[in-house]
Each structure stands twice: as structure tokens, then as C-alpha cells.
Structure 1
């Protein structure tokens, strides 16, 4: 029973670690998109015959990109808080897993002690029977 609980906690920990890695990957994607959008803001200019031929349109375009960056940063902060919560859950699961592991190790030690005691008793009975026959 303890072994099943231990394996369950290990599996839950592994799942949480996978979730954390996925969220961190999403944060990295957001960071790269923020850098890309900021670069677009910095390099956007007025083209004489292009889509952006007026400074007012350019300003609106840049404001839209800044708003997009703000939304990305809000999403990133949300993901970072989820990651922090996951880290806390992972720590708790690892603690529980270690407790079950300790219990399993103690049970193994007890079984080993019982086996040694039984072998010692069998050996002493053999010696006694040999002494009695002797």
C-alpha cells in the first residue's frame, strides 16, 4: 500500500514538472514575441506610398503594438504566478514522496532484520541439535 502511494506521489510530481516546463516554454515564447513587437515599434516608419503614409496612422499602429505588448506581459505575469504555485505543489509532493520512501526503507530494514533473526535462530537450533546428538 505504501509503495502504491509512493509511486502515485512520484507520478504526480512528474506530471507537475511537465506542466511547469510547458508553462516556462510559453513564457519564453511570450518573451520572444515581446522583443519582436518592441523591435517592430522601434523600426516602424512612415512610407510615402505604403500602408502607413500618415504620422497619425503610425502613432495608432505603435499604440496598438504597445497594447499588444501590455497584454503579453499580463499573460506572462499570470503564467509566472501559475509556475510559482506549481513549484509549491511540487515541493509538497516531493516531501510526501520522501516520507513514503522513508517508510518503505524502514519496512525493508525490518524485513531484513526478521530474516536475519530467523536465520540466526535456525543456525542456533542446528548447533544445539548437533550438540545434543553429539
Structure 2
């Protein structure tokens, strides 16, 4: 399997859309009574900001089905060394827009797109942690 790859954040989303992550296990980031947040087992590491970005799915409890059902796709922001249940922010948007909104305008979209990053895909059995 193709492992880690360095690029700019502006390129990362396109690269990710072309990749197959079917053999990478997802993680549960948060469970509340009526919601569940599932995040990808792979991530984009931003060394300059010491952050990780994961794709995720926000699921809501469906009374009729008696199970959590997917609702919206989200991008989840973590500190790089944080436990997978301790995210800082999530939003129903792509990685660049989510990071821009979380940074509250401290960096422009073009500055965010130019940030060097690394796409991290853990090998089977590898601990889910950025290097």
C-alpha cells in the first residue's frame, strides 16, 4: 500500500480523492446520546501548525432503524499528538475551508493552500500517530 506523501494542502484533497483507503480502519472520535463522529484512520499532518486533519462522518441516532445513520461529511481538526477522541474542531466543509474557518482568518486561503503537509496512511497494526 502507498504510505506517506509530502505535498501542499492545496494539492492534498485532490490526491486524497484518488486514493483507496478501504483497508484503513476508521476511528470513533465521539459518541453522545444521539450523535456519533467517525474519523478516518489516515490523516493530513501539518507540521507548521502541529495539526492533523481527518475526514469524518457525523452520524445521528435513527429511532426507526435503532442505529446511528450517516448524516454529513466533515473535516475534523486535531492537535498532532492528541488522543483521537479529543478533537478541537469539526465542520461540514473541505480541509482548506475548515482550517481557514478554525483559524478565524489569521491566514488567507492561499496561505493555507501553500502549507506543507504530509498525508499519513498507517500500515496494518501501526499505532495511529503522526511521526
User: What is the TM-score with the length of structure 2 in the denominator?
Assistant: 0.20
Query: RCO higher in 1 or 2 (8 Å CA, sep ≥ 6)?
Result: 1
User: What is the TM-score with the length of structure 1 in the denominator?
Assistant: 0.20
Rg: which structure is higher? 1
Instruction: Report the structure, 1 or 2, having the larger helix content.
Output: 1
